[in-house]
Structure 1
Amino acid sequence: MKTKTIIFALLFSMIFSISMVAQSSKKEPEFYNWFDDQVERYNTGLFNGIEYIELFRTINERHKFFKSNEFQTGSIVYDGQFYDQVPLKYDLHTDELLFNVGYNYPYPTLILFKNKVKSFSLGDSDFSRIDISKGEQPMNGFYEELLMKEPITLLKKNKKKRFKRIKGNTIYYEFDYENNYILNYDDTFYEIKSKKDVLNIWPNKKEFINENFNPALRKSNEDNFWINFFTKLADTFTNKNEGEKL
């Protein structure tokens, strides 16, 4: 049990430090952009991946990427180096991060090596790479940081499932979301799917959970629902011992 606690405590510290490093790095984007402009980005450590080949043709908006089928300007900590204003796409089907090198190069799009990606941001969304093979809730890949409010950390595993379609002589694919929400509390990770899962963690907060868990709000925007719910729940902890399982 002590080993498990140490592992998860270290992981929480890692997520927190990644967020702090990313926030600190974002304060100096002009310097990093100036540096990349001087040496040319393809001569930096970011130009390090494998060729991307599109295998699944799509013909509508049900694509496999995070928010947009187009490259988005983001930032990334790659192989220990921070890069800002980088054209990125996050493939939710394969859990891979793509980098747009440009059509002046043999491979215009690279798949960045996952083990070199510490964290990245797209728009207002921040992601961290987590790799846990042991414990009740194994975790591997990129996780979006939705909420970090003591004593709760809420993460989201963005995923899309592939469907093959045939229309006449045309074969194409559509992708639908299949997301998971992960909660870190008391050095343990839990997959959260329902009110029952929350009650299993905090049976002593049954009254609060029943009063504030509104399924109707969840249907309109699930991210906002979980963020608002767990923000309120975190506020109920008046000391570090409150919330322990009875």
Structure 2
Amino acid sequence: MAGSTYGQMAALQPAVPDNVPEYPLVLYRSATKEVQNLYNGRLYYIYDSREEEHQFFVDRKYEKGAVFYDGQRYDSIPMMYDIVRDELVIKHINGFEPILLQSPKVRFFTIYNHNYLNLKSGNDINPDMQTGFYDLIYNGKTKTLARRIKQRQEKINERKVIALFPQKNFFYIYSNGKYNSVHTRKSVTRLFPGQKSELRKALREQNIKFRKDRERAIVTMVARYDELTKQ
């Protein structure tokens, strides 16, 4: 997971200048081999593009991030994460066409300061957890994941069908050799009964209401647990 050495960054090379015939084509092809591999996916169709709500993480526009794809890391890549289909979309280097990356080849990506890992059921995570992209929201001793889900829904307004994309977040804390699903404050403290009062105190100190800010509350509690149990 996070903390491993993922390889060197691939430098994005400009197109071959038309007015420089002596440009060493062999060197160009060698330098852009990895980049060409990134952009050889199929085109992605942005569905429901006119609706107010959308299927993407945070925003319906490209945001530059990093992706580790097919054994190579790429930085400053314009991308969008389709949460509904659990797929990563990038903008082609030579135009505006959205390209769909092959999910099995994506080891991790970062977008909006969030680190998404491609985790496999029964291998990286519990057998009852679905294979896919998980947001590593806390990367301390007690790793914590968020699985973000959007499901396309429809409503009728003045005889017009409107697409809606409500989001749900599911949280998992690694403890006792497995990832444990947590949703309430009690489900978190149940994992760490010896530090129950201190974890509640951590929320009070930062004036965090669990139900109103569940993600921040979970991270705060886990970070306090790690602090209390560090050796």
Q: Report TM bin, short chain.
A: 0.7 to 0.9
Report sequence identity in percent: 17
Structure with more of its chain in helix, by fraction: 1
- The match for 2:222 is 230
Deviations 1:74-120 (A, max 9, x none): 11110001111111100111111011116758xx1121111000011
How do 1:1-246 residues align onto structure 2 when only pairs under 5 Å count? 15-16=1-2, 19-21=3-5, 25=8, 32-35=10-13, 39=31, 44-60=36-52, 62-101=53-92, 104=95, 108-133=97-122, 135=126, 137-150=128-141, 152-213=142-203, 217-239=209-231
The alignment partner of 1:155 has SS state of strand
Retained in 1: the 8 A contact 2:172–2:179?
yes
**2 CA distance for matches of 1:221 and 1:133?**
30
TM normalised by structure 2 equals: 0.79
Report which structure shows greater RCO (CA 8 Å, sep ≥6). Answer: 1
TM normalised by structure 1 equals: 0.75
Retained in 2: the 8 A contact 1:162–1:175?
yes
Equivalent pairs, count: 213
Where structure 2 has 5 or more consecutive residues not aligned to the other structure, the ranges are: 16-27
Change (3 A) 1:36 1:79: farther
One-letter identity of the residue aligned with 2:43? E
Post-superposition shift, 1:136?
5.8
Post-superposition shift, 1:226?
1.8
Bigger Rg over Cα: 2
**1 CA distance for matches of 2:58 and 2:107?**
21
Change (3 A) 1:40 1:168: farther
